[in-house]
Amino acid sequence: MIISVIGAGSWGTAMASLLSKKGYQVKLWVRRKELITQLNETRVNNIYLPEVILGENITFSSDIEYCCKAAEIIVIATPSHTVRETAEKIKKFVNKDQFIVNLAKGIENETLLRMSQVIQEVLPDNRVVTMSGPCHAEEVARDIPTAIVSTAKERASAEYIQDVFMAPSFRVYTNPDIIGVELGGALKNIIALGAGVTDGLGYGDNTKAALMSRGIVEMARLGEALGANKLTFGGLSGIGDLIVTCTSMHSRNRKAGIALGQGKSLHEILEGTSMVVEGIRTAKSAYFLAKKQGVEMPITQEIYDLLYNGTHVKESVINLMMRSKTHEIEDIAAINNSEWI
């Protein structure tokens, strides 16, 4: 089988490595020609994934037609804000029998669409599968045991991709709730920015635990409003991805949050990294999506105000801590309301 991976960032490179170890022929599309030269000479992506040697059955190319041709599966591993552009690039080289696998985690700013919806708009005849979960590329590439979720509109598509990607160090589950899986992967990046802010301010474990617990509540709240099953947010693409992104120094979102907490501006943060910090754009999408749906998302509101309205971090903390008092879990309070005196 030939599998094409579009995007040679850390995640695309890690996925190409994983698939090559399973014996597939992998075509890795690389945007920058100078990186192709380096990859061919060293078989190491020193920019995005240093110290990981890539298999001989991976071919590097900047020719997107060549990469798409004859591939049974095309994996889109670009940042979320370039997914539509990527789908448009491959459109004339794709046939309806090819599976499109989306690895991006985000919500499009302009349309407020999830990534599979964006791809389906451009490639309406293809089967689109999203894979999401607590997966740092640095660890997947080093064969550290990892679990992820495969989801699609059709069960057969999700299970097919499950079979293709499953490996001794890479366990793949399926979930029919594509809305919940994609929203979990996108929204947790906003909460991770907040977790980083608490670290940058020098706060402790109590603060982070509170932020994560309340974060998953508002993630599920928006998910339900958009048709997701709230149980999904208790799984790998919800609480699982939230834990890893809020606690790991591999997390770009947490690192950016730390810088915010230490007083750096958004401009300084973006200037200081070559990596994409997905939560920055997603905070804008989620803020407007919550407004549109009439859903209360106080953490998302404060992160949006930090990023785009210049609110001071300590003011945001006070805003969250001094909100109107309420029950912790509304469902339990509603059920027990008549019995709790």
Q: What is the pTM of this model?
A: 0.95
Interval 270-296: pLDDT, tens? 888 777 899 999 999 999 999 999 999
Q: Which DSSP helix (H) or strand (E) runs through 195? A: helix 178-200
Residue 341 clears pLDDT 70, i.e. is over it? no
| Residue 108 contacts residue 84 (beta carbons within 8 Å) | yes
User: How would DSSP label each residue in 245-261?
Assistant: HHH-TT-HHHHHHHHHH
Domains located in the chain, CATH noted: 2-176 (3.40.50.720), 179-334 (1.10.1040.10)
Active site (annotated) includes residue 291:
no
The predicted model gives 219-240 an average pLDDT of 98
Among 89, 188, 208, 255, which one carries the catalytic annotation? 188
Q: Which long-range contacts (C-beta less than 8 Å, at least 24 apart) are formed by 263-268?
A: 263/313, 266/307
Residue 331 clears pLDDT 90, i.e. is over it? no
Which residue in 340, 234, 238, 224 sits closest to 293, CA to CA? 224
Strands 25-29 and 58-61 come out as parallel
- Residue 80 is given by DSSP the state G
Residue 334 clears pLDDT 80, i.e. is over it? no
* Confidence (pLDDT) at 333: 73
Residue 18 clears pLDDT 80, i.e. is over it? yes
* Confidence (pLDDT) at 338: 65
* Confidence (pLDDT) at 275: 75
Q: Which two tokens stand for residue 229?
A: 């099953």
Which residue in 307, 331, 102, 98 sits closest to 220, CA to CA? 331
